[in-house]
Structure 1
């Protein structure tokens, strides 16, 4: 363990002990000199006053300016006493002794001042060290708390591994398996509202179906969290139908909409890619901490996702195939309205590859898709095949990593190996600037139902 600065700092003795030690050091050297040469105990006759200079130097370095200066004065007094004792005059040979006396006092003063200076700096460092130690201790405690919270969160996620993407995927798969017939919102509207409330932390809301004439149908309203009195002619509801986008309190105030005594916090439309509104969700209660721009943005995106899900489910019930152009157009709209970038990957298989190799490569690619990824195969004009992979909510920088991983996966497939050189992977960014028609090849032939979501 590394010692602290408090352990390294020298501990000074008490004041009385310091005075006693300073006197002892100052008088010890003259006594030693008297034992060596009783006729010249201070060794002044040798031309060097080192015996007297040692005491002020040691005392000054050890105890500072005051005791160093005092030790120098005592040494000067000893010089006077020595002159009086041996020569009968305190100032005998003043021309020699006066410079020595001044030198002794200066030695004690300089050594003591230097010791005091370094001691003050050491004390300053001690104060700073203690302050930093307190901050470090606080940081360690917060870090330990954060680590425990992170471990608890990891355990909770391990117990519930499904993400929002997985939940949307599962909901879409369930709606694809619906049998024709019946009113979808009447049969499954409560499930849609519960899904939105669960993933957007809504406490109370109402799902109000909208007719094809874009009129509210309050008689079929479905409530979550309890029913309250709500005006079906509320200005926020009408503004949502008119503007075909989510309306919250802030946007309503910015537009000058009358919201006096309005119970609504936000109105989220379930709107598809064709701008048809299937229903609106009127939110009347949600946690205050979640009522911010980012969370409202999530509500708008979920409303659009559920609207597209309702559109696809209706096509399924009517026996229609999935419109991949509409699927791309959906994310073009999200990129344009919500700045959510996606990628459209095109994987071209050369005609030199056999059908078995192409099938193996496509299966390996489709097996690694994420929850919301979509893929489909088209025939090009030269009879070669192209696999489109739609990667929602993916930045352009991820394409390089994705392409390298695909090449490694296909190279590891039996029967492909070096044939990977006949596979070309390209990328288009869905940023809202180009339409789905421009992103997809206009001359693409009808899809081959080999690769699917």
Structure 2
């Protein structure tokens, strides 16, 4: 038979009552058997029969202990009245009342201890359950993070690479209109922005027009007063659910991305209803905003040749303004250099031509072949990259012509880190 001595709460009710009556019967019978002359132990200093109800009270609490001591006293009175015990046995009523009080106190102590133990057991079970839940969620998040790292390991969210992809993709289109380029644009944003459900819409007079020109997933109907759309139109920049300006209302979108040119004209908007949660970080939002701005410029102006002549200076100015705006708004570094050959020779012409051929991927040149003046816009380049480019230019000059830049009288007249003022842009692009 399975015992439950150490777990009283698990003992069957029938077994409990059996133990109560067994201990009570032993407390009643053993003194009569071994000490018939003084079965109440009134002369021995301690009433040993009370030990049975005391054990019951400690094990099963107040009610069982109280019943046990009452049964013991009633049994002793019965034996005394039935002349089973010797007549000289003294039934000390004061001692018996004291023993009843002791049993009651003992039982109450056990009940308080049992309630405290149960409460602590419940709390322990709750904490254990929460710990198991937390552990499962931790391992789930950890494994998800590992999968995300593996997924992004071969696809770093590089601003330079994304802008190069934008320029290449838009430049290959036969017609650079928003409707014909819509699918290509939404594909780029899905790739670099990790969008799950989004649509590209045409915008006219600051109004978003339905239906979407291209989409990923099933898009719902546009809400006219959606706070994210209103904030995008007002601020003329990318807004997301993280922005404080959208906190006054509930939006169905996670992001609203305007395709906007450097003159703050919005041609289209990408409304994102669902995006992967880790894409809503500042680096990704900045990347998408800059991509959208460059797409807006490419759709508005058809010239995409990165090496421009003096006649194409208006487009170069727009590119400088775009880089200047990004430097102010997103702290994206860009550099602007003005290189001039004071003494026009065959060697200087050779070096200037080589510089045009060795152009970096995103750099944009404005070259006046007649006066041998070269303007270099270096987007996403900091002071260290600019210094490296100048050092490489000196190396190229020595390797190609056998002379240094100083010996050929080729100087860098201006070295400016964006942002700069509009007057400085006009003065530099004058090529004088």
Q: Do the structures match in fold with TM over 0.5?
A: yes
1:237 to 210, 213, 229: 229
Whether the aligned pair in 2 keeps the contact of 1:339 and 1:431 (CA below 8 Å) is no
Task: Tell me by how many angstroms 1:361 deviates.
Answer: 0.8
Contact 1:164 1:199 in 2 (8 A): no
After TM superposition, give the deviation of residue 315 of structure 1 in Å. 9.2
Relative to structure 1, the CA distance from residue 294 to residue 169 in structure 2 (aligned partners, 3 Å threshold; closer, same or farther) is closer
1:309 to 279, 290, 298: 298
User: Take 1:191 and 1:248, find their aligned partners in 2: how far apart are those partners?
Assistant: 23
Q: 1:441 aligns with which of 421, 427, 431?
A: 427
Partner of 1:412: 399
Match of 1:199 in 2: 192
**Change in CA separation of 1:366 and 1:170 when aligned onto 2, cut-off 3 Å:** farther
Alignment of 1:4-403 (within 5 A): 157=154, 165-176=160-171, 178-179=173-174, 184-211=177-204, 213-251=205-243, 253-254=244-245, 256-259=247-250, 262-313=251-302, 321=312, 323-351=315-343, 353-354=344-345, 356-378=346-368, 384-403=371-390
Unaligned runs of 5+ in 2: 1-145, 306-310
CA distance in 1, matches of 2:357, 2:157: 18
Q: Deviations over 1:88-143 (max 9, x none)?
A: xxxxxxxxxxxxxxxxxxxxxxxxxxxxxxxxxxxxxxxxxxxxxxxxxxxxxxxx
How far has the Cα of 1:389 moved from its partner? 1.1
Q: Which residue of 1 aligns with 2:55?
A: none
Partner deviation per Cα, 1:195-228 (whole Å, 9 max, x = no partner)? 01101111111111112x2221113442113333
Q: Distance in 2 between matches of 1:366 and 1:375?
A: 7
Cα offset, 1:442, TM superposition: 5.8
Aligned residues of 1:245 and 1:268 also touching (Cα < 8 A): yes
How far apart are 1:427 and its partner, in Å? 4.3
Alpha-carbon RMSD: 3.3
Cα displacement string for residues 322-367 of structure 1 (whole angstroms, at most 9, x for unaligned residues):
611111111110011111121001111122x32x323321232223
Whole-angstrom CA distance in 1 between matches of 2:368 and 2:427:
10
Deviation at 1:256, TM superposition (A): 4.2
SS in 1 for 2:339: strand
Residues 336 and 315 (structure 1), Cα distance of their counterparts in 2 relative to 1, 3 Å cut = same
SS at match of 1:169: helix
Question: What is the TM-score when the length of structure 1 is the normalising length?
Answer: 0.55
Q: What is the alpha-carbon distance in structure 2 between the residues aligned to residue 420 and residue 258 of structure 1?
A: 62
Residues 1:302 and 1:177: Cα distance change in structure 2 (over 3 Å) = closer
Cα distance between partner residues in 1 of 2:152 and 2:296: 34
Residue ranges of structure 1 left out of the alignment (5+ in a row) = 1-148, 447-453
| 1:176 Cα offset (Å) | 4.1
Whether the aligned pair in 1 keeps the contact of 2:198 and 2:272 (CA below 8 Å) is: yes
SS at match of 2:234: helix
Task: Please tell me whether the aligned partners of residues 378 and 444 of structure 1 are also in contact (alpha carbons under 8 angstroms).
Answer: no
Cα distance between partner residues in 2 of 1:174 and 1:293: 25
- 2:126 match: none
- Residues 345 and 427, structure 1, Cα contact 8 Å, conserved in 2: yes
Contact kept? 1:236, 1:267, Cα under 8 Å: yes
Aligned mates of 1:219, 1:376 — CA distance in 2: 40
Distance 2:156 2:238 in 1: 30
Q: 1:291 to 1:256 in 2, by over 3 A?
A: closer
The 8 Å contact of residues 171 and 304 in structure 2, kept in 1 or not, is answered as: no
Structure 2 vs 1, CA of residues 418 and 315 (structure 1 numbering), >3 Å: closer, same or farther? Answer: closer
Write the distance in 1 (CA, Å) between the matches of 2:156 and 2:289.
24
